[in-house]
Each structure stands twice: as structure tokens, then as C-alpha cells.
């Protein structure tokens, strides 16, 4: 679906590459600031996009993030090639994590990423296929009255 | 309260401060879990942590934190210092524990608020 008068940007994520981790979220944030989006919305988008980006860096082989901005909403879609998530309900629980010791030493693995994406977005969809990968669709409405 | 005042009073070592020392510190947040800091820190907070990996800089930048204090004399990884310089995130360190630095910072900032 093409957004009308919208703006689209796509980013690539390389699994395991912690040196660039966070750069996509930073770029998205900078675009939103430039366009003059309300700072409370930017804050929520930054939290969600960072967590989505980090999960791809941590768990997937590679992935893509598309960032879409139109007159009503901000939409962030991710799709990755990776192990997928066995039990999505469990993964959505705060505290559940399969992060390795090495990841935990770096401060990851609180099991707060997915719950925080959900908490800070207006709409959140997650689908996953074992052995294939995971897809997220995260929506933020620019005006609260557009929320469904 | 300005960053330079906190550096002075808590006797923090400056690893890098490309952004200068005049930044306003709005409060602090103490945590070693990145998702927690991401969700719960506020703009302008100084972040107290023992994490030294480069990912702390991305978090500080995204959350517009006023600086990072590494505790227990921890040394940052080289990439962390480089990134901090690039992104102009003040990186500081202290020999003290997170508990002790947090307590002192809390006192300092709340006294300042009463004065004002
Ligand atoms: N893109 C993904 N591919 C495969 N598994 C994933 C992906 N995203 C999340 N998961 C699984 O879901 C679990 C929960 O993810 P969540 O982001 O909530 O926590 P975490 O990444 O473990 O820790 P934190 O985000 O707090 O650092 C992960 O530990 C992992 O098992
Ligand atoms: Mg996560």
C-alpha cells in the first residue's frame, strides 16, 4: 500500500553487527525531528524502533526496516530472516528472554523490548515463522483521535 | 543543575565531553539494563551504569541524556569512547559504586531544587 503524499525510507540490518546498532532508530528520530513531529510521539517511536532494531541485531541473520510517514501516521515495519519466535505470547511477557550470557553482559536480555514496543505504540502486530523469520508492524497516530 | 557542577562535586573523571560541560542535568537514572533505560529515563537525565559497551552511546543519544557515569572505575571500550566523542555524549567515570554515586547525586539535585 502506497501512502498518499507519504515518505518512505528503507534500512538494512545486519544480524550480530553491534557497531551500527541503534543507527536506524537515530536516523528515524532525526527525520521526525526535522519534520517537526511532536516530541512525545518521537519519544515513543524512538523506544519502539530501537527495541525492534536491537532484536534484529541480536536474534536475526539480517533484516529490513521500512519507515513510513504520512499525514495521519508513522508506520514502522520490520522483517527479518532468522530463527523466528516459537511462542509469541511468551515472548510478549515482560521478563521473558532467550538472550545469551554475552548479550546480557552488554545490558540486553531484560525481556522488556517487545512489551515496550507494544506499550508505546498505538497498534502493534507481530507474526513469526519458525526457521524463517519475524515481522513487526508498529503504528503511531499523529493525532490521537485517529486511533482505532 | 549544570553538568560541570556535578562533575566537580562528585569528583568525576572526564573521559570525553565533546558536547561541553554546560548541559543541564534534569535528574538521574541508575540501571544496567538497556531496555529499562530506553523506556524509563527522561531527557536530560545523567545515566549511572556499569555497562561499558558501545551500545550505551546509542541509548544516551536516542534518549537525549545529559551524560553517562561509569561506576566502580570501569573503563569504557575503545569504540565506546570514540562513539561518545562522535555523538557528543559526555562520558564520565567514578571509582565509587552505583549506590554511592546515585545517593550523592540525588542529594545534590534535590538540594538544588529546594534552593531554586
Ligand atoms: N526478531 C526476532 N527474532 C527471533 N526471536 C526474537 C526476535 N525478537 C524477539 N525475539 C525473542 O523474543 C524474546 C523477547 O524479546 P524482547 O525484546 O522482549 O526481550 P529481549 O530482547 O530478550 O531483552 P531486551 O529487549 O529487554 O534487551 C527474545 O529473548 C527472543 O527469544
Ligand atoms: Mg529485545
Task: Quick: pLDDT tens for A96-107.
Answer: 999 999 999 999
Instruction: Enumerate the domain spans of chain A.
Output: 3-146
pTM (two decimals): 0.95
Lowest mean pLDDT: which of A73-87, A117-131, B10-24? B10-24
Predicted local confidence at residue A99, as pLDDT:
97
- Residues in chain A within 8 Å Cβ distance of B98: none
Looking at residue A113, its pLDDT comes to 98
Q: Is the pLDDT of residue A147 over 80?
A: no
CB A45 within 8 A of CB A74: yes
Higher per-residue confidence, B20 vs B9: B9
**Which of the following CATH numbers is that of domain A3-146: 3.40.50.300, 3.40.50.150, 3.30.565.10, 3.30.70.20?**
3.30.565.10
Domain span at B104: 3-115
Identity of the residue in B32, B49, B62 whose CB atom sits nearest the CB atom of A46 = B62
How many domains does the structure of chain B reveal?
1
**What does the DSSP assignment read for A28-90?**
HHHHHHHHT--HHHHHHHHHHHHHHHHHHHHH-SEEEEEEEE-SSEEEEEEEEES---S-HHH
Asked if the model's pLDDT at residue B38 lies above 60, the reply is yes
Instruction: Flag if A22 and B53 touch (Cβ within 8 Å).
Output: no
**In the predicted structure, residue A138 carries a pLDDT above the cut 90:** yes
Instruction: Give the C-alpha separation, A74 to A13, whole Å.
Output: 20
| C-alpha closest to that of A64 among A2, A13, A137 | A13
Q: How far is the CA of B91 from the centre of ligand 2 (A)?
A: 25
Q: Taking CA A49 as the corner, what is the angle to CA A44 and CA A52, rounded to the nearest 5 degrees?
A: 130
Range scoring the smallest mean pLDDT among A116-125, B75-84, B106-115 = B106-115
pLDDT grade for A148, boundaries at 50, 70 and 90? low
Residue A96 CB less than 6 A away from ligand 1: yes
Q: What are phi and psi of A73, to 5 degrees?
A: -150, 170
**What are A71-96's pLDDT values in tens digits?**
999 999 999 999 999 999 999 999 99
The pLDDT tens digits for B50-87 are 999 999 999 999 999 999 999 999 999 999 999 999 99
Torsion from C-alpha of A12, A118, A98, A104, nearest 10 degrees: 80
Residue entry with cell 545486519 = A14
pLDDT attached to residue A146: 67
Residue A6 has what pLDDT? Answer: 86
Query: Quick check: ipTM above 0.90?
Result: yes
Instruction: Specify the pLDDT at position A27.
Output: 97
pLDDT band of A42, cuts 50, 70, 90 = very high
Pocket lining: A99 vs ligand 1, CB cutoff 6 Å: yes
Q: Is A63 in the pocket of ligand 1 (CB under 6 A)?
A: no
Q: What number of CA atoms fall less than 13 Å from residue B98's CA on the CB side?
A: 14
The DSSP 8-state label assigned to residue A93 in this structure reads S
CATH code of residue B13: 3.40.1390.20
Amino acid at each position: 500500500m502506497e501512502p498518499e503524499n507519504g515518505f518512505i525510507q528503507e534500512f538494512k540490518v545486519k544480524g550480530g553487527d553491534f557497531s551500527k546498532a541503534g543507527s536506524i532508530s537515530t536516523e528515524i528520530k532525526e527525520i521526525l525531528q526535522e519534520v517537526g513531529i511532536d516530541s512525545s510521539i518521537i519519544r515513543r517511536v524512538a523506544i519502539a524502533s530501537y527495541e525492534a532494531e536491537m532484536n534484529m541485531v541480536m536474534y536475526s541473520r539480517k533484516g529490513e526496516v521500512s519507515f513510513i510517514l504520512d499525514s495521519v501516521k508513522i508506520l514502522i515495519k520490520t522483517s527479518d530472516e532468522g530463527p523466528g519466535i516459537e511462542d509469541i505470547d511468551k515472548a510478549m511477557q515482560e521478563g521473558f528472554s532467550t538472550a545469551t550470557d554475552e548479550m546480557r553482559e552488554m545490558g540486553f536480555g531484560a525481556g522488556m523490548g517487545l512489551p515496550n514496543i507494544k506499550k508505546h505504540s498505538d497498534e502493534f502486530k507481530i507474526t513469526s515463522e519458525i526457521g524463517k523469520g519475524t515481522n513487526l508492524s508498529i503504528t503511531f497516530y499523529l493525532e490521537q483521535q485517529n486511533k482505532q | 543543575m549544570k553538568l560541570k557542577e556535578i562533575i566537580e562535586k562528585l569528583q568525576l573523571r572526564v573521559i570525553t565531553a565533546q558536547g561541553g560541560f554546560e548541559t543541564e542535568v534534569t535528574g538521574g537514572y541508575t540501571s544496567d539494563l538497556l531496555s529499562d533505560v530506553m523506556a524509563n529515563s527522561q531527557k536530560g537525565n545523567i545515566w549511572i551504569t556499569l555497562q561499558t559497551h558501545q551500545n550505551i552511546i546509542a541509548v544516551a543519544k536516542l534518549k537525549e541524556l545529559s551524560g553517562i557515569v561509569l561506576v566502580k572505575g570501569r573503563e569504557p571500550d575503545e569504540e565506546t569512547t570514540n562513539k561518545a566523542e562522535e555523538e557528543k555524549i559526555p562520558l564520565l567515570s567514578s571509582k565509587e559504586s552505583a549506590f554511592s554515586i546515585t545517593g550523592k547525586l540525588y542529594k545534590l539535585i534535590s538540594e538544588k531544587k529546594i534552593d531554586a
